[in-house]
Structure formats: C-alpha cells, structure tokens
Copies of this chain bind each other. A is one copy, B any other.
Amino acid sequence: MERKIYIKNMPLEQALELIMSRLEKYDYFQIDRETIDVLHSQERITSSAVIARRSAPHYVASAMDGIAVKASSTYGASEINPIKLLRNKDFIEVDTGDYVPREYDAVVMIEDVNYIDDFAQVIKPAVPWQHIRSVGEDLVAHDMIVPTATRIGPYEIASFRTAGIDSVEVVKKPLVAIIPTGTELIENNSDDMAPGQIIESNSSMLSGLCQQWGAEAVRHEIVIDDKELLRQAVREVKDDADMIVICSGSSAGREDYTSSIVEEFGELLVHGVATKPGKPAILGIIDKKPVIGVPGYPVSAQLIFNIFAQAILYRKLGLTLPEPERLSCSISRKVPSSMGVDEFLYLNVARIKDNYIAYPLNRGAGITSSLVKADGYTLIERGKEGLNAGDNCTVFLKRPRYIVDKTLVCIGSHDMSIDFLADILQKRHAIRLISTNVGSMGGIMSLRLGETHFSGLHLLDYETGDYNESYLQRYIPEQKWMLINLVKRQQGLIVKKGNPLQISCLQDIQREDIRYINRQKGAGTRVLFDYYLKKENIDSSSINGYNREEFTHLAVAAAVKNDACDTGMGIYASARALDLDFIPVTEERYDLCILPELIEEEILETLLSVINSSEFRDYTSDFGGYNLESSGKLIHKNILLPPKPSPVTPNHQFI
C-alpha cells in the first residue's frame, strides 16, 4: 500500500495571487448579467448604473393638503383684510400629491384656509411656488440613482419603482457546484450509525456561505471514493458551474483522487497551502473556471472556502471583500504556533472592565463547535512562534461589537446548570454567557488574573471538608469577590446501563477488566476523586486509565456510553442525560465566585436575578440530580458593599 504525503506548502497570499491571476488571464471575472424584476432584486448587485427613467414627481404636485392658488391673487391678504377666492376659478382643493394645474403657482395649507360657501378666505399672501413639489424634486429622469456594483436594498427598490424602473440589470449569481466525496459519508442521520460513518455536513455549511455572499450553490450527491465516479461527477457539473468545489476529504488518498482529476480535466495550481487549519487544500482550473478541493475537516473546509472561494466569488460579483471590524485584544493564554504556517486562531472575545480579552477556542480542525462559538479570529503569521499570555492581538470580528460588549465570561469548572444560565440570559436579557471549562483550579487562576467575570468552583478542602472558600482566601486574598452557591450535586461513578461489570464502589475500579477515564488535573472532580482514593487507600497506579483525561462530565459519560471506557467519575446529571447508570459517591457544593468590580452594574444585577429566578430553579430541578436548597445563597463575600438586589425585567416572549 502506497500513500502520497503532500509536500507542497504554498504560502496563502501566493496561492491566492496564483489562482486570481490565472482566472484574470482567462477573463473569468467578466461580469455575467441578467435583467430581473425590481420587486425581486433585493440583495442583488447592480451590473450597471441605474438611471431614472422618469422624473419623480413627474408632474407639479401639491406638497400639502390645501388649496392651489395663483400667488398674485393673494397679495395683500391679512387678518384684517382677508381675500376671498372663488372655488374652481381662483382656487381648487388639492390633497398632498395632487396635480397642480399650470394656472396655479402656490398651495395654501388647509390650516390657513376658511371656507365660506363656495369661497375660501386666506389671511396671508402666498409666496409663488410655496408648498409645491417641482417636477423631479426627488429624481429627475436620467439622474443616476445608484452606480454599478451597488447592493440593492428596500430603499433602492422604492426609488427604482418611483423613477419608473420595473426591471433592473444585475450581476448573475455565480453558480457553485459542491461535490461531497467520501465512502464514510452518509446523507441522513440515523440512530444506528456505525463507527466510522460521518454525516455529510460540509456541503450545507459551504452552501450557507455561498448564500450569504450572494452566490448560488448546487450540491451533487455524495460520491464514494472511486476515481471514475468522481470523474463522472466533475463531468456532470463542469459546464454549468462557475466554480467547482470538491469536498475532498481529509485523507491523503482521497486528495490524490481530487488532484489527479483536476490535472486530468485542467490544470492543478496548488496542492497544500501553508495555513493552519486548511493545509490540504487544492486549487486548480478546469475549463477556465476555478476548482477548489477543500479538506474534510469542517474547520479547515470553511477556512479554505472563506479565503479562496469568497475572494473569487466577490470579485466575480464585482465587489471587493467586506472588511470585518478589528478589535485590539489581549490574549488569555499562551498559544504556541508552528513557524511554517499562517495560523487562523478562532476566539471568543469579551470585555472585562475596560479591556477586551480574547479566549482561544479548541484548535482542533474537527471542532464545529469552535466555529459556532467563535466571535472572530486572529492571524498568527508564519515566522512567529505563537502568542504569549497577555500578548496583544488583532481580532477580526464576525459578530457586531455590541454583542461582544454584552458578554459574560465564566471560566472554571463545568456544570450543566451553567448552560441553563446561558440560555436564560440569552433569551430573556440578550446577554451572552460564554463558558470555558478549565476545571476549578483553572477558574481560580482566571479569577486571580482578572480574566473572567466569574468562575464555577467545587474545590473540596481536605482538611475542613468545606468547599471553595479557603482556596479563594489563599489564592485571591486581595480581590473583591462574592461566592454564591449555584447547586449541590451528586458525584459518583458513571457506568453502563444495567451496570454489566457490576461496579458497586470505588474499590472496584482497581479491577483489571475495568477501564477508567479520569478528569483533567485541576478539575474539582479530580480533586474529589483523589481525595476519595486517599481516603480509601487506593493507589492510582492500580487504576487502568488513571492518566486518560476528559474535560467535562458529559465527555466522561459519553466515553462510557460509547464503550471508550467502562467508568469514570462525574455528576448524576450527565449519567442521566445519556441514559447511563450511576453509583453515588458523595454530594458536593458547586458555587460561583463572582468578581463584581469587573462586571457592568446592570449586567451583574441581571446575572444575580437569573441565578435566583424560578426559571433557573425549574430548569435545573427538571434535569435531575441537583439539590437546590442553598441555590442563590451568598456563601461569603470579600467585599464591603454588596450590589443591591434589583428589579430586572426579563423578556417573556419565550414561554
């Protein structure tokens, strides 16, 4: 078996320049036009200047409700000496927008007219052309309403119609043919997907991007890994499409299919770009049109597509690329990066007091949730070794700034009730809560650095048997903080449904046939687990899997569920969520430590009100495994003045 290892590693800007100049040479960027009904032109791009066909108004019009008069007939009028005008001779009645015949040259407002039988009395002389809209006051025939390359919106549509334009010439939407390839891909979700099967989702992501940019995507059905079938697919789409996208999968073998088929039909320009993610990208030309082979990992796929397809399609639409807002941020932690690649690092961003802090998201190329969470990205250019914690970086935002400004950050231990808080904050108060799970000790460190608004903690003090407070007093003695209980929860061993290995207590996990999965160092659950190991005299080296780490309760439960291990310690709620069995070990306190000085007062009040809301309590108790007897209770505060409890009005529309 021989498999090629791709070696070409072209810098991004060189790859982009290469394909753009080649396409230019082939006159690919000539605008394709079509003429469409103005009423269906919203979001389309004008392909020529739009010129008024008719003046608006196209007649001399009254600008008011009133009477049209000849101004000279009102000269001398005053309160003492009102002038009487005869209907249909000296004046006619007009409403706003009515035609003013050429025998009249002024309009008197209805408020200034007194009717007496067939006469109208005016008490003020009219100035010639008063309250009259001249022909073309809005637009004159042959005025340019908008230039070429304008995106049409509601106001343009109204203006076009007003100026006598029913149809408008616009740039034709480029047609992007997307071919998903891969024997492992399946079209529809089912509950019995085999290991190794993957739902095909990249094509819908890329189609969605096309839609946002103003291009049209058409998706080919999935092509299994068979060169002849892929060849056939390319043949099918290549005549109609303006761009061919082959979702070429991420394995070297499959890329070779793609690259060799591009060579067969046309010209292979680039195989591999020096970016992270996105490296195994393919660029080529078939029939003077671009072909892009995007990697199989979704984060890589969107990056390659955002860079190359967007640049090509915008140019094809006659537009320049939109410029995302830039925000100068300080990065929350060290991010080493390879010297050889341009790395696009996806980030959450929040304002902590007066600083914007950027929190790197999971960098895995397969992590779609990083794309969902990301507020933007920063670029770590090649030749740089990465970023150190606290380094300044420029973040290119994908969300508007006002959303970033209304963001709460919770870094610390994981509990599902944090998600409930997030949901309530979002739907009732439009406040975003982003949470990063770094374990309780990680939370303490973030509090100490002032990089989080609050932290979820469940750190057992071995000596006192109490939670969190002694740690806070030791690690952040100088800061103002308040410790509030969120929930109490059951910790225990999560085991398969029906407990097939008959695990009954902690001692059992030393058995050779049992594969354990642990939580990461610094996690409260790890601290708790180690406490019980010590208490029960269990040697960690006797546990198969003690060094295998997961980062959340749900991840531990999922590992059990999917037979990646047999048991792990976690909370009851996770076991229940995945329909697993649970051997209780203890109940622990899970608190929030809040730094009130880092949060805007109004947002802090909202957070406290949500923690104390019946909605949160209902949400949590419905989920199961939680004890809410002290939820919302202030455990301790290292602070003089507590924020006043407040009347926060939530939005009630989601019921």
Q: How close is A521's CB to chain B, nearest CB, in angstroms? A: 15
| A116 in contact (CB, < 8 A) | no
Which single member of B128, B159, B651 contacts A318 (CB below 8 Å)? B651
- A436 at the binding interface (Cβ < 8 Å): no
Bound: A198/B201 CA distance, A: 49
- Residues on B with C-beta less than 8 A from A563 are 102
The answer to whether the Cβ of A502 comes within 8 Å of any Cβ in the partner chain is no
Given A149-B654, A156-B372, A159-B372: A423 touches B138 (CB 8 Å cut-off)? no
- Neighbour of A554 across the interface among B143, B253, B366, B558, CB < 8 A: B143
A600 lies within 8 A of chain B by Cβ: no
- Given the complex, which residues of B lie within 8 Å of A61, measured CB to CB? 195-196
Which of A268-276, A545-553, A630-638 forms part of the interface with chain B?
A545-553
In the bound complex, CA of A150 to CA of B24 (Å): 40
Question: Which of A59, A135, A195, A555 has the largest count of B CB atoms less than 10 A from its CB?
Answer: A135
Q: Are B426 and A136 in contact (CB under 8 A)?
A: no
In the complex, A158→B196 CA distance in Å?
A: 18
Is the CB of A467 closer than 8 A to any CB of chain B? Answer: no
Chain A interfacial positions (CB closer than 8 Å to B):
1, 3, 5, 24, 29-31, 38-39, 42, 47-49, 53-61, 63, 65, 93, 95-99, 102, 110-111, 115, 128-129, 133-150, 153-159, 161-162, 164-166, 184, 188-189, 193-196, 198-202, 204-209, 211-212, 250-253, 296-298, 302, 315-316, 318-320, 322-323, 325, 364, 366-369, 371-372, 374, 400-402, 416, 419, 422-423, 425-427, 430, 547-548, 550, 552, 554-555, 557-559, 561-564, 574, 577-578, 651-655
What are the 10 tightest A-B residue pairs by CB atom distance, in nearest-first order?
A154-B208, A59-B195, A99-B195, A161-B201, A158-B205, A148-B427, A95-B251, A155-B371, A142-B577, A29-B653
Q: A158 and B427: CB pair below 8 A?
A: no
Given known contacts A110-B252, A154-B208, A422-B144, A316 and B653 CB-to-CB distance under 8 angstroms: yes
Contact in complex: B204, A110 (CB < 8 Å)? no
B208 touches A140 (CB 8 A): no
Given contacts A135-B558, A145-B369, A368-B159, A115 and B59 within 8 Å (CB-CB): no
**A249-B111 Cα distance, complex, nearest whole Å:** 19
Contact A653 B142 (CB under 8 A): no
Residues A157 and B96 in contact, CB atoms below 8 Å apart: no
**Which one of B133, B161, B325, B552 lies within 8 Å of A140 (CB-CB)?**
B552
Please indicate the chain B residues that have their CB under 8 angstroms from the CB of A184 in the complex: 97-98
Beta-carbon contact of A651 and B250 below 8 Å: no
A–B pairs, 30, beta carbons within 8 Å = A1-B93, A29-B652, A29-B653, A47-B654, A58-B195, A65-B253, A98-B184, A98-B196, A99-B194, A134-B564, A136-B554, A138-B366, A138-B369, A139-B368, A140-B558, A141-B578, A142-B574, A142-B577, A147-B419, A148-B423, A154-B204, A154-B205, A157-B208, A158-B371, A159-B369, A162-B201, A165-B189, A315-B651, A319-B430, A322-B400
Sample of 10 more A-B contacts, CB < 8 Å, known A145-B369, A149-B427, A157-B201: A57-B198, A96-B297, A141-B578, A144-B422, A148-B654, A149-B654, A158-B302, A159-B372, A162-B199, A315-B653
Complex Cα distance, B285 from A532, in Å, reads 65
Whether A154 and B42, one on each chain, are in contact in the complex, defined by CB atoms closer than 8 angstroms, is no
CB neighbours (8 Å) of A24 from chain B are 652
A554 surroundings in chain B (CB, below 8 A):
136, 140-143
Q: How distant is the Cα of A372 from the Cα of B140 in the complex, in angstroms?
A: 15
A372 to B189 CA separation, bound complex (whole angstroms):
46
Contacts of A558 in B (CB 8 A): 55, 135-136, 140-141
Indicate which residue in B147, B201, B297, B652 contacts A426 across the interface (CB closer than 8 Å). B147
- The smallest C-beta distance from A600 to any residue of chain B, in angstroms, reads 15
- Closest residue of chain B to A430 (Cβ to Cβ) is B320
Q: Tell me the complex Cα distance, A121–B271, Å.
A: 28
**B residues in contact with A564, CB < 8 Å:** 60, 102, 134-135
Provide the residues of chain B in CB contact with A369, threshold 8 Å.
Answer: 138-139, 143, 145, 159
Partner of A58 from B150, B155, B193 at Cβ < 8 Å: B193
Are A97 and B201 touching (Cβ within 8 A)? no
Q: Report the bound CA distance from A205 to B162 in whole Å.
A: 11
Whole-angstrom CA separation of A137 from B161 in the bound complex: 54
Rounded to whole angstroms, the CA-CA distance of A652 and B95 in the bound complex is: 50
Set of chain B residues within 8 Å of A425, measured between Cβ atoms: 147
**Residue contact A97 to B250, C-beta cutoff 8 Å:** yes
Residue of A29, A38, A47, A141 ringed by the most chain B CB atoms within 10 A: A141
Docked Cα-Cα span, A406 to B615, in Å, equals: 49
Q: Are B147 and A205 in contact (CB under 8 A)?
A: no
Cβ-defined contact, A138 with B578, below 8 A: no
Specify the chain B residue showing the minimal Cβ separation from A133: B366
Contact A426 B148 (CB under 8 A): yes
**CB atoms of A208 and B42 under 8 A apart:** yes
CB closest residue in chain B, given A210: B154
A55: chain B residues within 8 A (beta carbon) = 558, 561-562
Contacts of A400 on B, CB cut-off 8 Å? Answer: 322-323, 325
Residue pair B164, A129 in contact (C-beta under 8 Å):
no
Contact B323 A251 (CB under 8 A): no
With A149-B427, A371-B155 in contact, do A5 and B59 touch (Cβ < 8 Å)?
no
A145 CA to B368 CA in the complex, in Å?
10
Cα separation A619 to B480 with both chains bound (whole Å):
69
Assess whether B141 is in contact with A548, with CB atoms less than 8 Å apart. Answer: no
Q: List, in ascending order, chain B residues with CB within 8 A of A401's CB.
A: 325
**Do A251 and B145 form a contact, CB below 8 Å, given A196-B59, A202-B158, A319-B430?**
no
Chain B residues contacting A141 (CB-CB under 8 Å) are: 554, 558, 561, 577-578
- Chain B residues, CB < 8 A from A204: 38-39, 154, 157-158, 161
